[in-house]
Amino acid sequence: MSSQALEQFLSSSIEDLKAKGLYNVIDTLQGANGPVIQIDGKSFINLSSNNYLGLATDQRLIDASVKAAQIYGAGAGAVRTINGTMDLHIELEDKLAHFKKTEAVIVYQSGFNCNMAAISAVMDQHDVILSDELNHASIIDGCRLSRAKVIRYKHSDMNDLRQKAKEATESGQYHKIMVITDGVFSMDGDIAKLPDIVNIAEQFDLITYVDDAHGSGVLGAGAGTVKHFGLSDRIDFQIGTLSKAIGVVGGYVAGKKQLIEWLKLRSRPFLFSTSLPPAAIAACSTSVDILMSDTELIEKLWANSKELKHGLSQLGYDVGQSETPITPCIIGDEVTTQQFSKRLYEEGVYAKAIVFPTVPKGTGRIRNMPTAAHTKEMLDQVIFVYEKVGKEMKLI
């Protein structure tokens, strides 16, 4: 019998989520997460994945996975520091370091894990973290885990960051001060003002930390937001994920040799959680090879997103201020946004509604994620459906 207190807690919490419209129903895909997906036996044009370059279903990655599984087995068998480090892991880390133009790289089991691992390995209760208010949940959790004081600065507001950096420095209270930002913000698609952040960091001796989950494989010829701004030697921590543009799973920290050495010695997910399986590592390695040798997929991604943004704004939709392929279509109130997404779904377009509290009240939007794998016909069909549904709901 389970505890009464637990049952009460679960029932009332779940009811509360339902009452607030925050109860998440999870769709099940019957097949791959490509540009077209199958749910309940029906096909949808998929505008909700992070598979930016279409590499999740690329035959070259699949072949590399199969081959690695045949040679190395299905699982890595241990944590990295016992004997779960295979030559495949080292090869991927070396390749990523070369690609990111940093001295070294450490690979973790996910991007989420990276933030839990890396922040808490260097920051503690004597330190302070200046964190953009729109940073990703894994950064927020990583900061909490570190026990450092967290001070949020207004989104991409450099005056606010400078002021807070000055106050933290002048207080003389902290051993270390870190500034953390997403490279690309995932809800609006805007890019962090890294050149300004680096200048402020250098003025106040801040540690710099950029989570580039949405910039890697997309900006800077694939090497990310830091490369895009030419700041590779001025940022301490570059976090990347292997689950979005790279198309597989995992995450990594790129930085100086000594930093990576420390993370290998002290970061807990590296020490206490089994390393990624050979098939995943081999697929990631092939993906990085593709990115390093050819920018065709990146160009296709940008061309597709330009076409989608253009098509939606021509129809009269507000596509926000995105500077990246992330294409929000701002609808407004929560109920209308949810209804809009439901109608898109009924018309064969899978594009999720993002509403309060994930985004501010009244700015509910459909978050469209075009990829390099979408064809012109697919994008034309999406625009056709947006026109049909928008007119029907009197939004355009």
Active site residues: 186, 214, 244
- Which residue is closest to ligand PMP by CB? 111
Residue 149 parent element (H or E): strand 149-153
**Is residue 132 near ligand PMP by the rule CB under 6 A?**
no
Distance between CA 125 and CA 301 in Å, rounded? 43
The single residue among 156, 241, 368, 371 that binds ligand PMP, judged by CB under 6 A, is: 241
**Is residue 105 near ligand PMP by the rule CB under 6 A?**
no
Contact 118, 238 (CB under 8 A): no
Distance between CA 201 and CA 229 in Å, rounded? 15
Residue 37 parent element (H or E): strand 36-39
Contact 258, 121 (CB under 8 A): no
Kindly state the smallest distance separating residue 333's Cβ from ligand PMP, in Å: 25
Residue 179 parent element (H or E): strand 177-182
Amino acid at 279: A
CA atoms within 13 A on the CB side of 29: 13
The single residue among 49, 65, 120, 138 that binds ligand PMP, judged by CB under 6 A, is: 138
List binders of ligand PMP among 175-204 (CB under 6 A): 182, 186
Q: Which two tokens stand for residue 143?
A: 């900061």
Q: How many binding residues for ligand PMP (CB under 6 A)? A: 13
The single residue among 44, 52, 112, 350 that binds ligand PMP, judged by CB under 6 A, is: 112
252 alpha-carbon distance from chain centroid: 12
**Is residue 243 near ligand PMP by the rule CB under 6 A?**
yes
Residue 169 CB partners (closer than 8 Å, separation 6+): 177, 204, 205
Kindly state the smallest distance separating residue 33's Cβ from ligand PMP, in Å: 13
| Residue among 342, 86, 393, 54 nearest 217 (CA) | 54
**Is residue 213 near ligand PMP by the rule CB under 6 A?**
yes
Nearer to ligand PMP, 133 or 380 (CB): 133
Contact pattern for ligand PMP over residues 334 through 373, marking x by CB under 6 A: ----------------------------------------
The single residue among 220, 224, 247, 251 that binds ligand PMP, judged by CB under 6 A, is: 251
Residues lying near ligand PMP in the complex (CB under 6 A) are found at 110-112, 136, 138, 182, 186, 211, 213-214, 241, 243, 251
